[in-house]
Structure 1
Amino acid sequence: MKDVHKSFERDPDGSLFDPQARAAMTRFAAGDDTLALEAATAVRTAFHAVERMRAHGAEGRGLSSGALDVLIRLSAGAEDGLSIGELAQSAGVSSRNVTGLVDTLERDGLVQRVPDRRDRRSVLARITPDGQAWIEAFRRPTQAAMAAIFRGFTSAELTQFRHLCLLLADNQHRVSEHLRQADGVEGPQQ
């Protein structure tokens, strides 16, 4: 992911804003308030900044962020492994997406599929010793990268930031559920 530095400016209250995003959103909103649009753009900018730091911490180890998330979840999961459905639910993505990620991780020798002892029809994904070693080698550079990108944040600010991000995700989920119900689609979709 290419590192693109943006020049931010400050509002009169001292809050940062992206002048290019503000100009674009002002045109797009045709005179309406742009604060929610600018906030969405800022979330995307922040996401890319975190991903660039995370990729740097991976030191070219070749895993996508999705595969990395699955591997981390498996390293902290049940010793017997986790089902594709459990991984998908915990990551908030589709089972199809997780299946592809597990395929990649299995091809790389970091994950293996094993029969579920509780249900012979099911298969679990389990981290391999090579996968666990990969996670151990990745841990320190990632911790250093995240400490660097969140430098200057207080514990209270990090807690509030986490809360706001998850509130945003929860709001999106509620809106999606409402739209599915309005369309007559039953049950949660991924």
Structure 2
Amino acid sequence: MTMKYVHDQDGLYDPSVREAVGRFADTTETFEAASAVRTAAHAVERLQNLGERNRALSPGAVDLLLRLDGGDAHVGELARDAGFSSRNVTGLVDTLEQKGLVRRTPDPADRRAVRVSATDGGHAWVAEFREPARRAMAALFHGFTDAEVASLRDLCLRLVVNQEAVSRRMTPKSTMD
């Protein structure tokens, strides 16, 4: 699906989004920006899916495997760090374990807990994935300066921080316990 973007004094925009948002709100800038973030996230996900198609892992499973390539962790730690639910991480670990890429081991400090670590096969998978992923990111960010990439990262993470603050304010206290 190819979309036609045009330039104005502020940069690229999507005329169809501007028109739709204009019918919805008096001020369109933040709505257009949110739409652009969503569109960009889908573009990154589509690129990931192309790269992962031959590797048969979901983006979430890849995220966990990359984290585990640096060392073992509890499921709860993985969930918190990756921004997933513990239930979701458990399912992803099940998938990775079935593929022989991770293993669960009892935590010597807490016999009720398990730690998850990458196997030799998991480390090899990450090593094989590294160069295609690097090339894909270079293509995706073609024409961006290092400062623009850093600014984009900062802006996106600021959106996440703001969303988390709004969610905390809007979530009833009894459901947060």
How would you bin the TM-score normalised by the shorter chain?
over 0.9
- Note the residue ranges of structure 1 that are not aligned, 5 or more in a row: none
Q: Which residue of 1 aligns with 2:86?
A: 95
1:111 and 1:125 in contact (8 A); partners too: yes
2:100 and 2:122 in contact (8 A); partners too: yes
Q: Which residue of 2 aligns with 1:9?
A: 6
Q: Which residue of 1 aligns with 2:69?
A: 75
User: Which one scores higher on RCO, CA 8 angstroms, separation ≥ 6?
Assistant: 1
2:102 and 2:122 in contact (8 A); partners too: yes
Q: Which residue of 2 aligns with 1:185?
A: 174
Q: Which residue of 1 aligns with 2:124?
A: 133
Q: Verify: 1:148 aligned to 2:139, yes or no.
A: yes
Partners of 1:6 and 1:145 lie apart in 2 by 21
* Among 106, 111, 124, the residue aligned to 1:120: 111
**TM-score normalised according to structure 2 size:** 0.94
**TM-score normalised according to structure 1 size:** 0.88
Query: What is the letter of the counterpart of residue 11 of structure 2?
Result: S
Partners of 2:44 and 2:146 lie apart in 1 by 18
Partners of 2:50 and 2:110 lie apart in 1 by 40
Q: Which residue of 1 aligns with 2:58?
A: 64
Q: Verify: 1:52 aligned to 2:33, yes or no.
A: no
Alpha carbon RMSD of aligned pairs, Å? 1.5
User: How many pairs are equivalent?
Assistant: 177
Q: Which residue of 2 aligns with 1:22?
A: 18
Partners of 1:59 and 1:96 lie apart in 2 by 24
In percent, how many aligned pairs have the same letter? 50
> How far did residue 27 of structure 1 move?
2.2
* Among 168, 172, 188, the residue aligned to 2:159: 168
Secondary structure in structure 2 of the residue aligned to 1:126: strand
> How far did residue 49 of structure 1 move?
1.2
Partners of 1:177 and 1:184 lie apart in 2 by 9
Partners of 1:146 and 1:153 lie apart in 2 by 11
